[in-house]
Structure 1
Amino acid sequence: MLSPTDAEWDEFVAAHPDATFFHRAPWRRLVATAFGHKAHDLFVRDEQGRLAGVLPLVEVRSRLFGHALISTAFCVGGGPLARDAASRDALLRQASELGRRLGVDYVELRDTADGADGWVPRSDLYFGFERPIEPAEDANLLQIPRKQRAVLRKALARDLQVTIDRTTEHFFPLYAKTMRDHGTPALPRRYFDLLLETFGGDCEILTVHHEGQAVSSVLSYYFRDRVMPYYTGSRAEARGTGANDVMYWSVMRRAVERGYGVFDFGRSKVGTGPYAFKRNWGFEPRPITHQFHLVRSSELPNVNPTNPKYQLLIGAWRRLPVPVANAISPFLSRSLA
């Protein structure tokens, strides 16, 4: 069966109502280039030879976290897209068969509500946050709960400047330090450069400056009607100046300016600071379901910072000097898919 071209793949994705930014064809090359992981793009065709379903998978091998097929690695979504139930079932069969053939520990489909026989759902780790953005600024402000709105108004009254950047010059140092502070290896700078290069205006960096210094920065994805602030970084003083609040508010207003109408705040784990922060902004959580097909593994994976067995590693990482953490991170973060 003839493999789809990038153009055919993206045409199918563009027409499917459940498609996400993470289904787009360029991810296969980007992940391979940035991390060296192999992409396995599954697909089915109908009797007329037309594309009827797609499922992007990334094969991740890690001494720390095992061997897995993930849709889609380094993303919060992916999963099967199909025109009908038969095509969807065919994609899931292909995924489980590929997992067995490769000898992986498990196959993971992210943000996928429905599985099939032999697939195990898990919905207790992550919650997503999204809502429409009111186009009018005053109405947009009123969407934010009163207490948080007062914090934002105070921050907006400060001397903070906002820029739209087409390089990672301001963003990456803030992101890398924030990741070190959280006890997590940072993704390599090359990855973010590739995101900007690959997706053009659909990937944008917004930075907040205070007294001539970048203090808070966010890389956002734009897809269909929504903006998704995805990677962030900030200096310690960002909290005192309200730079993080101004940053997210500015992303909202920038999205309206560009004609987008939904603010997708991404996923967070229950009981974490980001989860509480998003609730404070008036966003209601929705449970996110991942589907797993266990191949060699006998239990569901638990590769996340809330796992107690990683606490010693996280504590040690936080104590590393930032230059040392940045030097080591690229060798470790490729496994944090």
Structure 2
Amino acid sequence: MTVRIRELDDASAGAWDSFVRATPAATFFHLSAWARVIRGAFNHPTHYVFAEQDGAVVGVLPLARMRTRLFGDSLSSTPFCVYGGPVAASPDAAAALEAHAVGLRRRLGAPVLEFRRRAAPDPGWEERPPLYVTFRKPFRITGDDGKDQAANIPRKQRAEVRKAIRLGLASVSDSDTDRLHRIYAESVRNLGSPVFPRRYFRLLAEAFPGEHDVTTVLHDGRPVAAVLNFHFRDEVLPYYGGGTRGARAVSANDFLYWEVMRRAGAERGATLFDFGRSKIDTGAFSFKKNWGFEPERLHYCYRLAPGARIPDNNPNNPKYRLMIAVWKRLPLPVAGLVGPALVRGLG
């Protein structure tokens, strides 16, 4: 039967997501709800399409176009997500989705088409020089905290977790994205990065009602660290997190991620921890390696219009050093006001 390419709509969202959940190569970031989140939070047009054969979904391709004056113009699978690109049940479906994406880039006039691949680069595509890695590791929670810690995290991190417990830190799990956002905004400002709008976190919670939670660490009743987690199949994915300036002194960050792991295993039966994307040789990269995770290179692949270049919108780019230095000094209310307008081009 002929493979047809169709646009995602409300009527096809259920079949799309059923295909994603049943296909091992698909990821949480291939779920259809990301389309309305990206549109609603950032006002970027989305072009989600699926391959259909004999009335069944046989492939999906999430795409969104980011076009801003400061950070350029690209058609990506998928901005604000770690993984992307087409996922298909057959070579014919994969080829049809790729051909659609290449043609769509030309029709839209976007200079860059990007696929964010985890497992392998796309043959014939230009690949970004090594920049991003992801960290994934199996784990197992059996109910005995001491033995579970020894089995799942290195000795130094176990010591940090025990220190946090002695200091009286505790965790709560809920859906309070506003509390998370306050902590996250302070954390990314201190790193020199623009903050996402509060609305983005709220939309994520609404889009994935049974597949997210927020873990918050409290010290003397005050929130000092928090992270938004996604849950997909047997995986837990801590995604947007941060801590206050005082978090490190009380080992709140190590305690936070141990609590995410512990709760996901004990309460949801999760067995794989996806620590997410980091840039090579950054503080986040080192933190995750110290937790016993091995980096896996991410393969971000490109089709470019004549004369176009692979985007380099990342803090390692020397042209952004002054901007980062200035941003770290901004009062938090100012950073919170200006940041969302900038970050929409940094997906």
TM-score, structure 1 as length reference = 0.96
Which residue does the alignment assign to 1:299? 309
Q: 2:217 aligns with which of 185, 208, 221?
A: 208
- Residue 70 of structure 2 corresponds to residue 64 of structure 1: yes
SS at match of 2:313: coil
Counterpart contact for 1:167–1:196, Cα < 8 Å: no
Aligned partner letter, 1:265: F
Per-residue deviation at 1:213? 0.9
Per-residue deviation at 1:259? 1.0
Which residue does the alignment assign to 2:300? 290
- CA–CA separation in structure 1 for the residues paired with 2:242 and 2:339: 16
- Residue 163 of structure 2 corresponds to residue 154 of structure 1: yes
Cα deviations across residues 251-293 of structure 1 (Å, max 9, x unaligned)?
0011112111111111111110011111111111111111111
Aligned residue runs from structure 1 range 5-24, under 5 A: 5-24=12-31
Which residue does the alignment assign to 2:32? 25
Which residue does the alignment assign to 2:258? 249
Counterpart contact for 2:278–2:285, Cα < 8 Å: yes
Which residue does the alignment assign to 2:320? 310
Which residue does the alignment assign to 1:240? 249
SS at match of 1:304: coil
Per-residue deviation at 1:45? 2.1
SS at match of 2:176: coil
Aligned residue runs from structure 1 range 1-337, under 5 A: 3-4=7-8, 5-46=12-53, 48-112=54-118, 113-117=120-124, 119-122=125-128, 124-136=130-142, 137-142=145-150, 143-257=152-266, 258-337=268-347
Per-residue deviation at 1:111? 2.2
Counterpart contact for 1:42–1:95, Cα < 8 Å: no
- CA–CA separation in structure 2 for the residues paired with 1:230 and 1:57: 20
Per-residue deviation at 1:87? 1.3
Per-residue deviation at 1:187? 0.6
Unmatched runs of 5 consecutive residues or more in structure 2: none
Q: Please, which moves more after superposition, 288-297 or 172-181?
A: 288-297
Counterpart contact for 2:160–2:255, Cα < 8 Å: no
Cα deviations across residues 30-81 of structure 1 (Å, max 9, x unaligned)?
11011111100122222x2322211000011111111111111111012111
After superposition, the Cα gap between the structure-2 partners of 1:13 and 1:179, relative to the gap in structure 1 and judged at 3 Å, is same
Question: For this pair of structures, how many residues does the alignment match?
Answer: 335
Counterpart contact for 2:226–2:243, Cα < 8 Å: yes
TM-score, structure 2 as length reference = 0.93
Per-residue deviation at 1:245? 0.9
Cα deviations across residues 132-182 of structure 1 (Å, max 9, x unaligned)?
112233443123222232222222222112111222232111100111111
- CA–CA separation in structure 1 for the residues paired with 2:339 and 2:263: 32
Per-residue deviation at 1:203? 1.3
Aligned partner letter, 1:140: D
Q: Please, which moves more after superposition, 151-160 or 88-97?
A: 151-160
Per-residue deviation at 1:297? 4.5
Aligned partner letter, 1:295: A
Counterpart contact for 2:112–2:308, Cα < 8 Å: no
- CA–CA separation in structure 2 for the residues paired with 1:50 and 1:75: 26
Aligned partner letter, 2:126: V
- CA–CA separation in structure 1 for the residues paired with 2:307 and 2:168: 54
- CA–CA separation in structure 2 for the residues paired with 1:335 and 1:121: 21
- CA–CA separation in structure 2 for the residues paired with 1:149 and 1:244: 12
Counterpart contact for 1:111–1:290, Cα < 8 Å: yes
Counterpart contact for 1:110–1:291, Cα < 8 Å: yes
Counterpart contact for 1:106–1:297, Cα < 8 Å: no
Aligned partner letter, 2:299: T
- CA–CA separation in structure 1 for the residues paired with 2:78 and 2:7: 19
Unmatched runs of 5 consecutive residues or more in structure 1: none
- CA–CA separation in structure 2 for the residues paired with 1:139 and 1:283: 19
Aligned partner letter, 1:124: P
- CA–CA separation in structure 2 for the residues paired with 1:155 and 1:161: 8
Q: Please, which moves more after superposition, 323-332 or 1-10?
A: 1-10
Aligned partner letter, 2:66: V
Aligned partner letter, 1:246: F
- CA–CA separation in structure 1 for the residues paired with 2:305 and 2:38: 24
